[in-house]
Amino acid sequence: MSNTNKKTFYITTPIYYPSGNLHIGHFYATTIAWVLKNYKKKMNYDVKFLTGSDEHGQKIEKKAKENNMEPQNYVDIQTDKFIQLWKKTKIDYDFFSRTTNIQHKEIVEKIFNKLLEKQLIYKDKYKGLYSINDEEFILETQAIKIDDQYYHPVSKHKLEIVEEESYFFKISKFSSWLVDYVEKNNNFIIPKTIWKELKNNFLNNNLEDLSVTRISFEWGIKVKKDPKHVIYVWLDALFNYISALGFDFENPKNDFVKYWKNGDEIVHLIGKEISRFHCIYWPIFLHALDIKLPTTILAHGWIITPEGKMSKSKGNVINPLDLLEKYDSEIIKYFFVSKLNIVKDGIFSEKLLLETYNADLVNTIGNLISRTISMIKQNFSKPIVFKDIDDDLNKNTLNLIVKSFENYKENLDNFRILESFECILNLARNLNKYIDLTMPWKLKDDLDKLSIILNILLNGCYAILAMIEIVCPDYVKEFKQIFNINEFDFEQINNFHKFDNIVVNENKIVFSKFKQ
């Protein structure tokens, strides 16, 4: 299928704020997006994947000063840490979006001017509570008050009282439109609990107009007609998703037209803590400018440790670079997608990581493949050809391979990633049981019957490796040599004749057990 006829899939991670250290949450979120990208590629979509860094704002300016650096130099160094992490974890992307890019700045200036022209932005005074760390204004009714001091309701950061001139966006004008849109578009926000919270906390409580500029710091995109004003972080940052594609009102680039304007699927993966900005502000900004909305905003939960949420005071913050010194990145990525439910908070520890690797990849999948290949090499020097089957156990096992793949796809198409990997693992477990039931080691004198069983197992192993390749491409590459094939292709899973002319190679251990 040519690229022009393929469906498109555009997926983005949040663009990460480069003011602090790398943490496991960055690695987790980017892995989810990368795995979905890999799945859609295998499903023959034309795919683009964006990650990047959100480089403006008061917090960056403050951090740069603390380090005696210019803000641009500071963000260049900090952003490179993300780029190096994605190299180390072998996460490949199509766009690394930086809000300090000239192209992005020019687009944001045009967007601000367009909203002014449409009389959707006006100048007024802002007075209220503000969190520098979260780059967020908070209503007094939402803040936590302790001893006359206000704190952010989620991050618990201290809030400052800010009073300054600001431009405001008429977000309140679109409140009922947004409620109507989300209720009619069932998969626009996943999970539903996020939308319920946002509706109760903001949209049902007279959504206030949004401050979109600041005058108390310099580091950001200036309003050309009023340069003491810096465009506030969310009106700047959110538009990176389309500026990276080459959005322009008059002359958009081909990528924007193809993957956004005429695109089939547009998915933003975000952490639940930034859902307000992506699920309220972003769709309203786009609608106000007559730009198409994304198809899905997918909010993931947090990674916590057995000791609870990560914090410096608890000493349980996990640095991904420390983990990567000990474990192959594919082991960690496999854990993220197979054991953490994307829409809930999930527990991570090295103990759980090793238990998962040994139980799933070594004992269940690795053992199944080793048993299958060893029995083939011991009994057959020629290809084992697929034959028609009338035995119920064999028929049911073949049907299980087909059904497992269908369930896997259905789950991934609906972003139920954990459940899709459960399909793989359940298939592997059932094929191991199939070996125990058929006892192929007792059939050395009935090669016809043995060949049928081993061919079914070979096809089952192929399906498992094709499905797991979206998270473990390097491990699966090793199995291509053993299976004597070039690809584990989704389109070949249901073709049970694929090994009719192939002699598999000698087995080797790909998943080696970790000692705990």
Query: Across the chain, how many H-helices and E-strands are there?
Result: 19, 17
In the chain, the N- to C-terminal Cα span, in Å, equals 47
- What's the DSSP call for residue 158? B
Long-range contacts of 43-46 (CB under 8 A, 24+ apart): 43/409, 43/490, 44/1, 44/6, 45/6, 45/7, 45/8, 45/9, 45/264, 45/265, 46/3, 46/6, 46/7, 46/8, 46/9, 46/258
Dihedral angle at the C-alpha atoms of 202, 206, 207, 208, nearest 10 degrees?
-130
Taking 50 as the pLDDT cut, the residues of the chain under it are none
In sequence order, which ranges of 238-341 are alpha helices (DSSP H)?
240-243, 254-256, 275-276, 282-288, 320-326, 329-339
What letter represents residue 221's amino acid?
I
Q: Output the CA angle 31-38-195, nearest 5 degrees.
A: 60
Backbone angles phi, psi at 363, to 5 degrees: -75, -35
Q: Which residues contact 317 (CB under 8 A, 6 or more apart)?
A: 23, 310, 311
- What are 4's two structure tokens? 């022009």
Helix (H, G, I), strand (E, B) or coil at 289: coil
What separation in angstroms does the CA of 176 have from each of 173, 190, 479? 8, 20, 54
User: What's the pLDDT score for residue 25?
Assistant: 93
Please report, for the chain, the start and end positions of each structural domain, with discontinuous segments joined by +. Answer: 350-492
Radius of gyration of the chain (CA): 26
- What are 200's two structure tokens? 């109760």
- For residue 133, the tally of other CB atoms under 10 A from its CB is 17
User: Are 105 and 113 contacting, i.e. CB atoms less than 8 angstroms apart?
Assistant: no
Ramachandran category for residue 219: left, alpha or beta (phi over 0 → left; psi -120 to 50 → alpha): beta
User: Are 128 and 161 contacting, i.e. CB atoms less than 8 angstroms apart?
Assistant: yes
What letter represents residue 252's amino acid?
P
pTM here?
A: 0.94
Long-range contacts of 182-186 (CB under 8 A, 24+ apart): 182/279, 182/283
Q: In the chain, what's the furthest Cα-to-Cα distance? A: 89
Q: How far is residue 401's CA from residue 417's CA, in Å, rounded to a whole number?
A: 19
Q: At what angle do helices 24-42 and 71-88 cross, to 10 degrees?
A: 60
Residue found under tokens 């996990």 = 318
User: Are 134 and 19 contacting, i.e. CB atoms less than 8 angstroms apart?
Assistant: no
User: What's the pLDDT score for residue 411?
Assistant: 98
Closest alpha carbon to 329 in 221, 472, 435, 425: 472
Q: Which residues contact 483 (CB under 8 A, 6 or more apart)?
A: 458, 461, 462, 465, 502, 504, 505
CATH match for 350-492 among 1.10.40.50, 1.10.730.10, 1.10.3720.10, 1.10.645.10: 1.10.730.10
pLDDT digits (tens, 9 = 90+) for 381-426: 999 999 988 899 999 999 999 999 999 999 999 999 999 999 999 9
Closest alpha carbon to 10 in 252, 259, 261: 259
pLDDT digits (tens, 9 = 90+) for 420-430: 999 999 999 99
Structural element, H or E, at residue 163: strand 160-169
Is the preceding peptide bond at 294 cis, omega within 30 degrees of 0? no
User: What's the pLDDT score for residue 312?
Assistant: 64
What DSSP letter does each residue of 328-392 carry, written as one string? -HHHHHHHHHHHS-TTS-EE--HHHHHHHIIIIIIIIIIHHHHHHHHHHHHH-SS---------H
- What are 409's two structure tokens? 């796809």
pLDDT digits (tens, 9 = 90+) for 12-35: 999 999 988 899 999 999 999 999
Burial class (CB in 10 A: 0-12, 13-18, 19+), 184: exposed
